[in-house]
Amino acid sequence: MKRFILLLSAFIVFGSCYISEVQAQQQWDWHIAGGTIIDGTGGKPYQADILVRGDSIAFVGPLDPDTVRAQKNVDASGKVVTPGFIDPHAHGNPLETPGFHNFLAMGITTIVLGQDGSSPAVGELDDWLAKVEEANPTVNIAMLSGHGSIRAKVNVGKQNPTRQELKRMHRLLKADLQDGAFGMSTGLEYVPGMYAAEEELKRMAAIVGENDGIVMSHMRSEDDSDMEASLDELAQQGEFSNVHVSHLKVVYGEGEKRAEEILNYIDRFREQGITMTADIYPYSASFTGIGIVFPDWAKTEDEWKNALQERPEVLRRFLKDKVEQRNGADAILFGSGDYTGLSLKEAAEREKVSPVDLLIKMGPEAASAAHFVMDQALQDRLLMGGKVMVSSDGSPTMRHPRGYGSFAKIIRYYVNEKELLSLEEAIYKMSGLPAKTLGLNDRGFIREGQKADLLIFDREEIEDRATFEHPHKLAEGFNWIMVNGTHVRGDGEFNKVTSGRLLKGKGASKK
């Protein structure tokens, strides 16, 4: 009877979330008390405690502190507790920089690598993943298989692959997916992805679909005039697998109205049963090789040398028009090579040549640069899109602030200052939505059974510090971070523990 009353009173106190007497006797690793939970679904914040055991969230709900015995307690009152963020489009080499503090410091606990058509160890992803595991990354890592890397490995060249070659490409892709890749990335604006035609991409997408993966695409062109055609091409692959637009942008497009047209265009595919999503980084400059301003027939070192011999004037005119169209020589800021930190205009002045002559001298592969080619109002509106999530497209070494600031900037700028997003919408775009998109079933939300990737923070303290001048300044404010149940950052200090894991996509179960 006594036992019954005890249970009954527990039920009354804790409502439907009550923790049974038996559970109360158990040892927990962590008790996160008194926080405001923003659970990654986009739903309203609520007050609750969280219990963590091992690497997982074991309980979420109201708790009487007297009944709980945990190894460690953390008082989250006055703060929010959210899932760790998931970056669906990141760069970096985990064998070289497994620390990835640039990502962790902005709340990212999972990154997706193998982007833009390029991935390491095609066909031998298993071996590479084993090496990454030994390197002890601090964040979870999910991989994509790079279409361009597969194409290069099979040595297809500029033509369409032969039947034999296509078969080999299929085999390599399937091997990667069954080794755990979450899908395939394409880089259709780069060599060699740009040589791939519709049929090849559709056939590859079919392999992705059979293995429950996703095609994430740096599309054929991001120019305003080409956007619909690029989206159409991706949608065709969407008949075979889920598809996703990487770093959605409209180069030299303008205004909110144009953004709404693009979002509606994507929605219309969704009405046709095609699952299309997108990610976006919150800056109006892109970062890529200067080859992006060179014509298709002068994208490689060899082609450029050829063009210098055979049609230097056509090349000169093309570059002149392209640089002008892309907001001029001021709008290209070198991030690698001899002119790092200078704009094309400044570098040309230093060399006492015209900007176009400097590009002609350098060639398409000499440097990367930030390109200020986006309209803020347009990009801001795109970010509000319902199926649009946040990415960094950054790395620990890239000279663009997005690799250090993106996720913090979303909260500092879009939530706190501009109030364009509520905090729960922003968290959804940085955790639940990318998890659903990737098919990560055990991350992205705060609920029982999910892996304990967690953040505790005060939204007012979140700040992105990285700028184009100083792109490698860590973000501030994410002072308490847990990855797979391990406390990796407290009081703003990184603990010397690593607990990132290599995640596997659904294809791995088909091996």
Tell me which residue has its CB nearest to Zn ion.
218
Query: Nearest Cα to 427, choosing from 86, 91, 49?
Result: 86
As measured in angstroms, the least distance from the Cβ of 485 to Zn ion is 33
Name the minimum Å distance from CB 247 to Zn ion.
5
Residue 367 CB, shortest distance to Zn ion, in Å, is 17
Report residue 279 as tokens.
């990610």
Could you tell me the smallest distance in angstroms from the CB atom of residue 246 to Zn ion?
A: 5
Q: What are phi and psi of 454, to 5 degrees?
A: -140, 150
Smaller CB separation from Zn ion, 76 or 181: 181
Complex with Zn ion: residue 184 or 307, whichever CB lies closer: 184
Identity of the residue, 249 or 387, whose beta carbon is nearer to Zn ion in the bound complex: 249
Q: Closest approach of Cβ 404 to Zn ion, in Å?
A: 18
Residue 417 contacts by C-beta under 8 Å, 6 or more apart in sequence?
A: none
To the nearest whole angstrom, how small is the minimum distance from the Cβ of residue 368 to Zn ion?
12
Task: Kindly tell me which of 248 and 383 has the beta carbon lying closer to Zn ion.
Answer: 248
* Residues facing 451 on adjacent strands: 56
Q: Kindly state the smallest distance separating residue 484's Cβ from Zn ion, in Å.
A: 29
- Number of C-beta neighbours around residue 310 at 10 A: 10
Nearer to Zn ion, 147 or 218 (CB): 218
Sign of CA dihedral 467, 473, 478, 481: positive
Burial class of 284 by CB neighbour count within 10 A (0 to 12, 13 to 18, 19+): middle
List strand residue ranges (DSSP E) for 144-257, in order.
Answer: 145-146, 183-187, 214-218, 242-245
The nearest distance, CB 511 to Zn ion, in angstroms, is 29
CA distances from 116 to 143, 156, 193, 379, 389 (A): 12, 18, 9, 20, 17
Cβ nearer to Zn ion, comparing 41 with 186: 186
Between 218 and 299, CB nearer to Zn ion: 218
Distances, alpha carbon 447 to alpha carbons 27, 37, 355, 452, 454, in Å:
19, 10, 55, 9, 11
When the beta carbons of 195 and 494 are compared against Zn ion, the nearer one is 195
List the structure tokens of 332. 């290209």
DSSP 160-175: PPPHHHHHHHHHHHHH
- In the complex, the smallest distance separating the C-beta of residue 220 from Zn ion, rounded to whole angstroms, is 12
Q: How far is CA 438 from CA 183, 219, 266, in A?
A: 8, 18, 18
Q: Measured between alpha carbons, how far is 453 from 57 in angstroms, rounded to an integer?
A: 9
Per this entry, what is the length of the chain?
511
The per-residue DSSP string of 27-41 comes to EEEEEEEEEEE--SS
Question: Quick one: 116 or 375, whose CB is closer to Zn ion?
Answer: 116
284: tokens are 């109006």
Beta bridge partners of 36: 47, 80
218 or 501: CB nearest Zn ion: 218
Smallest gap from residue 91 Cβ to Zn ion (A): 9
Distance CA 127, CA 426 (A): 36
Residues near Zn ion (CB under 5 A)? 116, 218
